[in-house]
Amino acid sequence: MSGFSSWSRRRRRAVIGGGVAIAVITGIGTYVASNDDLRPLKVDFVLGGGDDPTEYGKQLKIQGQFGGLAVAPDNTTYLFVEANDETVMWRRKPSGAIKRIQVAGMNASRATQAAVAPDGSIYLAAEDLWRVSPAGEATRVIERRGCGKANPLVATSISDFCGATVTGVTVDKAGTVYVGDQLIQTPPYGSYVHRLDGKSIELVAGRPAKDGESVRPSNPAVRKGYDPPAGTKAKDVVVPDVTRSGALAATKDGVYWNTGPGIVRINRDGTLSPFVARRSPGKISDPSGPFDTVGRALDAPVRSGTGGEPGDGLAAIPSRDEIYYSDEGTSHRPVLEGDFRWQGVESDAQKKLLDESKTGSLVHRVTDGKLAPVIAGVQAIATSKDSLYVAVTTDIKYRNTPENSATAVLRVQLPEKN
């Protein structure tokens, strides 16, 4: 099998502290474990993984390529898939009830990030910003369009906002929507964060580089975008790395923002705090097991892969004070063999899905300032108030179409928070 199983034991451990952490279905209870107890890592299929597209129980097969993943605080799970040039939303309630909902008003789109609002609507960052009602009615909130001579960074009305590709979205507890957006084809180039309020929009973080200003890390305005000193104003940093920036996650302390080389927190007072800051990458060690601490998050870099999509993978579990993020430096597949094999893959259909899955990112956890790999080989992550979820999707083979693919959501079993 390709993936971790072909690596040396030490190299597999270096990534699969990222291997896979998996969680309990609602009602089973809290899992208490040491690192040794978490080998092999345990997984539960929440949506998909079966071989019958008409059976909504454990045999459910969800056809189509991954299009977006979002989870509400109460663990209601929303999976979007692309099939037949259309978007379908699968919803699983905490009770276990599953429903397939055809999304109206939206063509097939791949969301780099999705978020559930308190009213039950789901926001999708898919170049445009979409809002999908619980019934499946889609509305375009922000449309990517030309600006002409307009400056999108001074827009105060959503209808006047232009030229931006929306790559990230998060919704805080109060229902405020934040978007991570990039200006690539229209000056001022760079990555930014905006806050939405009804039909109004406000710049929260980022500024364009001035004429002739360097966009290299030697420029303090760029360096402060991933390792800001205390008091740095969010609107004073230049974030030129549009390849991998844009993902967001909201907590009571502020909004976390992937700025490319690192992750910062936009505080309530409009200043920035460093979170993942690539200060001393050489101090990050190999893990010896799942959730094994490998160093300080401030020393770690966020690595990008070749051709990786921007905006992927940033989420928070408030009750555990944990932040999770994806690292695309190396692509991996889920594994069913070796020290860090996935346990809980019960059926032949589930094994087949994982064996044929696309390569995916390595996900890390940051808690109390410490970094630990958690899960690898996944397309996306999402969190509820107490759990981590991941999505996997099969690769599109030659002459195959997206609707012949299969997608599934798994819930990640986490060790008890001390």
DSSP state letter for 283: G
Residue 116 has pLDDT above 80, yes or no: yes
CATH topology of domain 4-412: Neuraminidase (2.120.10)
The predicted-structure confidence for 82-97, as pLDDT tens digits, reads as follows: 988 889 999 999 999 9
Handedness of CA 202, 113, 80, 73 (dihedral sign): negative
Nearest-angstrom CA–CA distance, 128 and 300: 31
The predicted-structure confidence for 278-334, as pLDDT tens digits, reads as follows: 999 999 998 776 788 999 999 999 986 544 444 469 999 999 999 999 987 777 777
Are 131 and 89 in contact by the 8 Å Cβ rule? The answer is no
Q: State the pLDDT at residue 140.
A: 96
With 0-12 / 13-18 / 19 or more C-beta atoms within 10 angstroms meaning exposed / middle / buried, residue 8 is: exposed
Comparing 232-241, 257-266, 394-403, 407-416, the range with the smallest average pLDDT is 394-403
Domain boundaries, the chain: 4-412
| pLDDT, average across residues 86-114 | 93
Q: State the pLDDT at residue 253.
A: 94
Secondary structure (DSSP) of 118-187: TTS-EEEEEBEEEEE-TTSBEEEEE-----TT--GGG--BGGG--SEEEEEEEE-TT--EEEEEEESSSS
* Better-scored residue on pLDDT, 311 or 141: 141
- Give the confidence band of 341 by pLDDT, cuts at 50, 70, 90: low
Name the phi and psi angles at 9, rounded to 5.
Answer: -55, -45
Q: State the pLDDT at residue 403.
A: 67
Distances 211 to 150, 190, 208, 217, 344 between C-alpha atoms, Å: 18, 13, 9, 17, 56
The token pair that represents 258 in the structure block? 């992937």
Q: Which residues, 6 or more positions from 407, have their beta carbon under 8 angstroms from its beta carbon?
A: 48, 62, 63, 64, 65, 66, 79, 81, 391, 392, 393, 394
| pLDDT, average across residues 402-408 | 83
Nearest-angstrom CA–CA distance, 383 and 27: 17
